Amino acid sequence: MIRTVQVKDAPQIRDLCHQALGYDSTLEKVAAQIDKFNSPDSDHFCFVYEEDQTGHILGYVEAEVYESLYSDAGLNVLGLAVFPSAQGRGIGRQLMERVEDLAKSKHYAFIRLNSASHRKEAHVFYERIGYEGNKTQKRFLKIMN
């Protein structure tokens, strides 16, 4: 079943981020972000795939509204992750379909996402479900402490 993420999912989401994406975070940070994303005025959306029999979270997708001066509004997928042990079961596809349904219902013009250059299997997945790679770019980051 796909549903909106809840704060109670934070421990499983934290583990999923680590195992599937290699990102480490604290339980407190993940829970706070989920709480913020679920506020009524948030432009973030996060859906989880919960296994019906066990209640385990097997995957999630996170997106935000993307607006700029030069284009119509769309959705920007910030993250899609499925536990490695659950990959190949259509979970990622279903999560992306949920984002596509959201985009259609809110009349967003497009869905965009970035995928690190070394994630070749992810690129194949995105192309298989209808996304096309149309740009190569570098990300620049400045940490503000």
HEC-encoded secondary structure of the chain: CEEECCHHHHHHHHHHHHHHHCCCCCHHHHHHHHHHHCCCCCCEEEEEEECCCCCCEEEEEEEEEEEECCEEEEEEEEEEEECHHHCCCCHHHHHHHHHHHHHHHCCCCCEEECCCCCCHHHHHHHHHCCCCCCCCCCCCCCCCC
Do residues 79 and 131 touch, judged by C-beta distance below 8 A? no
23, 41, 138 from 144: Cα distances, Å: 19, 25, 19
Whether residue 144 is contained in a domain is answered as no
pLDDT of 2 = 98
Over residues 93-117, the pLDDT tens digits come to 999 999 999 999 999 999 998 877 7
**pLDDT less than 70: residues of the chain:** none
pLDDT of 19 = 93
pLDDT of 64 = 97
pLDDT of 101 = 98
pLDDT of 125 = 82
Whether residue 134 is contained in a domain is answered as no
* Beta strand 111-113 pairing with 71-82: parallel
Whether residue 64 is contained in a domain is answered as yes
> Residue 59 is part of a domain; what is its CATH number?
3.40.630.30
The domain containing residue 119 runs over which residues?
2-128
Q: Which two tokens stand for residue 125?
A: 């997945």
Whether residue 145 is contained in a domain is answered as no
pLDDT of 48 = 98
Name the domain count of the chain: 1
